[in-house]
Structure 1
Amino acid sequence: MASLTLQSTAKLPSGHTIPLLGLGVYRNNDAYPAVIAALKHGYRHIDTAEMYRNEAAVGKAVRDSGINREEIFVTTKIMGGTAAPTASIKASLERLDLGYVDLYLIHSPHGGKETRLKIWRALLEAKAQGKARDVGVSNFVRHLEEIREAGLETPAINQIELHPFCKQEPIVEYCNKHSILISAFCPLVRADFSDPVLQEISKKINKSPAQVLVRWSLQKGWIPLPKSSHPERIASNADVYDFQLSAEDFGALDNRPQKPISWNPIDEP
């Protein structure tokens, strides 16, 4: 793990690669400055969504960055429960105006089994047409079994809330068993750094709590998506490659009480 860099990637089932660290732009209506700052500081992975209402800003920032499109990994998400997924996909691609997306996810398992499978088939069609290089899901728990039982292609990634206070071990185990990569949203626990163990480790190794949390997620083998709209924090969140959490510190974080901060999709019918 000590040899990880900001350029480190994981291989997707398609053979394409995904950068291990990404910038999240949730609740950032004007994501343009944040994306420009992230790309300037070496990020090559941007995670947006239809629901965030900033796909156009993300696409413009990527186009204006001066960086070759092929070097930037862009993820977007279609809203769960969408009745007309093909139209939604078309609209998102037009807002982004990047030609294709690297990863297209179903944002949530809302809408019931038949709707989930309908959206999944639409994403597979978008992949077949070259509009998305890879496809996956977000916030899927037992819902992953529906895709397998339908005999459809396995999602490349499942993006779920993950941090020391929400490890979701059963679904992580399922994804590992079925070779589904895991992406972590809320890796910075929405900047609630009050946990005493986190504070102690941060002071001991002279790294910010945010840097400790990003490094913890990377050492888990996940793809964290720290969110910030401040250029200095965006840079700091990526400054995690000159240290490694010791087994003791890693284990201490691994054993914190569990308290998710986002919604729990496990009971979504």
Structure 2
Amino acid sequence: MYLLNNGLKIPKVGFGTWKATDKEQCKNAVRTALEIGYRHIDTAAIYGNEDAVGEGIAEFLKNNNVSREELFIVTKVWNTEQGYETTLKAYEESLKKLGLDYIDMYLIHWPQPKDLNKTWKTWRALETLYKSGKVKAIGVCNMKEHHLKHIMNNFEIVPAVNQIELHPYLQQRELKKFCDENGIVVEAWSPLMQGALDHEGLKKIAEKNKKTVAQIVLKWHLQKGLLPLPKSVTPSRIMENFQLDFILDEDDMKYIDSLNKEERIGPDPDEITF
């Protein structure tokens, strides 16, 4: 578990559900992940699967001796709903689709470079939700240092997490350092580089450790103090991505560190138009 800046604990690996749009497949994947031992599920309004995620959670809780309080469920407000009132409404809609009484953590999905005032109003709405007890923690995604500084200088609550694109090819070290210094947990989306794991050096490390390349990359994240969000709908992969009870030695870590080329798969948060 990582400790968030408000004292709440968050499981160190989250189960991502981006692109899991087939309802039955998504529901089964979430249930499978929870059965394997994941306790942190990450979704978003724009994924269009909150209802399926909610059904997977409900099925799991019904058939297992685990309480809702043991799970950590996260969703995000989409760009078109940004603004104060619209965000409050979007939260209620997400809650309804998920079929839950509360959401553990609510995140702003992207800053809006063309209208950052909207994003700041959204943060104010998240603070309202947090203070009213409707969410246990609030955070952001895809924010750079200048975004975070604005929030910290103008609002009461420091984001609990910043969920950003981060993997061996895009390590965002300066941003990670800034987040560490300010008690913000860094979550990594696309930690497995959307499957770009066909790398000779990584394969050698995997062979040496008798693990898969995916496991090596996820373990690198954990040893860096990052919170990876691997996504899969394949039961064997869901299991594999959770079996990370080994340690990478210093040479392995240094080698993976050396792969950094600050290369994004996704868009630059300062340049998005959606």
TM-score by length of 1: 0.93
Root mean square deviation of aligned Cα: 1.4
Moved more, 107-116 or 210-219: 107-116
1:147 has 2:142 as partner: no
- Secondary structure (helix, strand or coil) at the match of 1:244 reads coil
- Secondary structure (helix, strand or coil) at the match of 2:79 reads coil
Give the corresponding residue for 2:2.
Answer: 10
Give the corresponding residue for 1:4.
Answer: none
1:116 has 2:144 as partner: no
2:97, 2:59 → 1: CA distance?
Answer: 15
1:244, 1:266 → 2: CA distance?
Answer: 36
Q: Does the aligned pair in 2 maintain the 1:113–1:146 contact within 8 Å?
A: no
2:199, 2:90 → 1: CA distance?
Answer: 40
Q: Name the count of aligned residue pairs.
A: 260
- Given candidates 212, 218, 223, the residue that maps to 1:219 is 223
- Structure with greater helix share of residues: 2
2:224, 2:131 → 1: CA distance?
Answer: 32
2:157, 2:130 → 1: CA distance?
Answer: 11
Deviation, structure 1 residue 261: 1.3
Deviation, structure 1 residue 127: 1.1
2:71, 2:79 → 1: CA distance?
Answer: 25
- Secondary structure (helix, strand or coil) at the match of 1:207 reads coil
Q: Does the aligned pair in 1 maintain the 2:45–2:75 contact within 8 Å?
A: yes
- Given candidates 41, 59, 71, the residue that maps to 2:54 is 59
Deviation, structure 1 residue 143: 1.0
Q: How does 1:93-112 map to 2 (within 5 A)?
A: 93-110=95-112, 112=115
Structure 1 residue runs of 4 or more that deviate by more than 3 Å after TM superposition:
266-269
Unpaired segments of 5 or more residues in structure 1? Answer: 1-8
1:184, 1:109 → 2: CA distance?
Answer: 17
- Given candidates 27, 32, 43, the residue that maps to 2:27 is 32
Q: How does 1:1-269 map to 2 (within 5 A)?
A: 9-29=1-21, 30=23, 31-66=26-61, 67-81=66-80, 82-83=82-83, 84-110=86-112, 112-141=115-144, 142-241=146-245, 243-258=246-261, 259-267=263-271
Deviation, structure 1 residue 268: 5.5
Moved more, 40-49 or 145-154: 145-154
How many percent identity over aligned positions?
A: 37
2:57, 2:161 → 1: CA distance?
Answer: 22
